[in-house]
Structure 1
Amino acid sequence: MTAGKFRFGVVAAARQGAAQWRETARRAEDLGYSTLLSPDSLDAPTPTAALAVAATATSELRVGSFVLASPLRTPRAAAWEAHSLSVLTDRRFELGIGTGIPAMREAAAELGLPYGTGKERLAQVADTISHVRRLDGEEHTPVMVAAGGPRARRLAGERADIVTLADGVLTSRADFAEHAAEVRAAAGEREVELAMNIFVVGDQVPPQVRSFIAVDADTLRAHESLTIVPADPSALADELERRREEYGISYVSVNGAFIEAFAPAVARLRGH
Structure 2
Amino acid sequence: MVLPFRFAVNMLAPGSGEEWRTRCRRAEELGYDLILVADHLGMPAPFPSLVAAAAVTTRPRLGTFVLNSGFYNPALLAREVATTAALTDGRLELGLGTGYVAAEHDQAGIPFLPAGARVDHLAGVIEELEKEPTAGVPLLIGGNGDRVLRLAARHARVAAFSGGRFDGATATVLTAEELAARVETYAGFEKEAGRAVPAERNLLLQRVKVTDDRAAAVAEFQPAVPYLTEEQILDLPILAMGTAREIADQLIGLRERLGFSYVTVLDPAMEEFGPVIAELRTREPAPETVPGA
The question of a shared fold, defined as TM-score above 0.5 by the shorter chain, is answered with yes
Measure how far apart 1:84 and its partner are: 1.6
Measure how far apart 1:191 and its partner are: 2.5
Measure how far apart 1:5 and its partner are: 0.7
Question: 1:93, 1:35 → 2: CA distance?
Answer: 9
Question: Which runs of structure 2 are paired with 1:100-249 in the superposition (5 Å)?
Answer: 100-101=99-100, 103=101, 105-136=102-133, 140-168=136-164, 170-188=173-191, 189=195, 190-202=197-209, 215=224, 222-223=232-233, 224-249=235-260
Deviation larger for 169-178 or 63-72: 169-178
Matched residue of 2:130: which SS?
Answer: helix
Question: 2:229, 2:247 → 1: CA distance?
Answer: 16
Question: 2:103, 2:227 → 1: CA distance?
Answer: 32
Question: 1:152, 1:198 → 2: CA distance?
Answer: 20
Measure how far apart 1:134 and its partner are: 0.9
Question: 1:135, 1:21 → 2: CA distance?
Answer: 31
Q: Which residue of 2 aligns with 1:24?
A: 23
- CA deviations 1:91-121 (Å, max 9, x no partner) are 11111110112x2x23223333221121111
Q: What residue identity is the alignment partner of 1:236? A: I
Q: What residue identity is the alignment partner of 2:20? A: W
Question: 1:128, 1:31 → 2: CA distance?
Answer: 34
Question: 1:182, 1:3 → 2: CA distance?
Answer: 19
Q: Which residue of 1 aligns with 2:80?
A: 81
Measure how far apart 1:23 and its partner are: 1.0
* Alpha carbons of structure 1 residues 219 and 28: separation in structure 2 relative to 1, 3 Å: farther
Q: Which residue of 2 aligns with 1:262?
A: 273
Q: What residue identity is the alignment partner of 1:114? A: P
* 8 Å contact from structure 1 (residues 72, 107) kept in 2: no
* 8 Å contact from structure 1 (residues 231, 261) kept in 2: no
Q: What TM-score, normalized by structure 1, do the two folds share?
A: 0.88
Deviation larger for 262-271 or 177-186: 262-271
Q: Which residue of 2 aligns with 1:90?
A: 89
Q: What residue identity is the alignment partner of 1:50? A: S
Q: Which runs of 5+ in 1 are unaligned?
A: none
Question: 1:142, 1:175 → 2: CA distance?
Answer: 28
- CA deviations 1:128-150 (Å, max 9, x no partner) are 2222221336x611111111211
* 8 Å contact from structure 1 (residues 18, 50) kept in 2: no
Question: 1:60, 1:257 → 2: CA distance?
Answer: 21
- CA deviations 1:43-78 (Å, max 9, x no partner) are 133211111111111012111111111111122222
Q: What residue identity is the alignment partner of 1:58? A: T
Matched residue of 2:94: which SS?
Answer: strand
Question: 1:65, 1:8 → 2: CA distance?
Answer: 14
Q: Runs in 1 of length 4+ with deviation above 6 angstroms?
A: none
Question: 1:14, 1:76 → 2: CA distance?
Answer: 28
Q: Which runs of 5+ in 2 are unaligned?
A: 165-171, 210-215, 288-293
* Alpha carbons of structure 1 residues 145 and 20: separation in structure 2 relative to 1, 3 Å: same
Matched residue of 1:134: which SS?
Answer: coil
Question: 1:166, 1:76 → 2: CA distance?
Answer: 27
Question: 1:265, 1:227 → 2: CA distance?
Answer: 15
Over aligned residues, Cα RMSD in angstroms?
A: 2.5
Measure how far apart 1:195 and its partner are: 0.4
Q: Which residue of 1 aligns with 2:65?
A: 66
Q: What TM-score, normalized by structure 2, do the two folds share?
A: 0.82
* Alpha carbons of structure 1 residues 217 and 255: separation in structure 2 relative to 1, 3 Å: farther
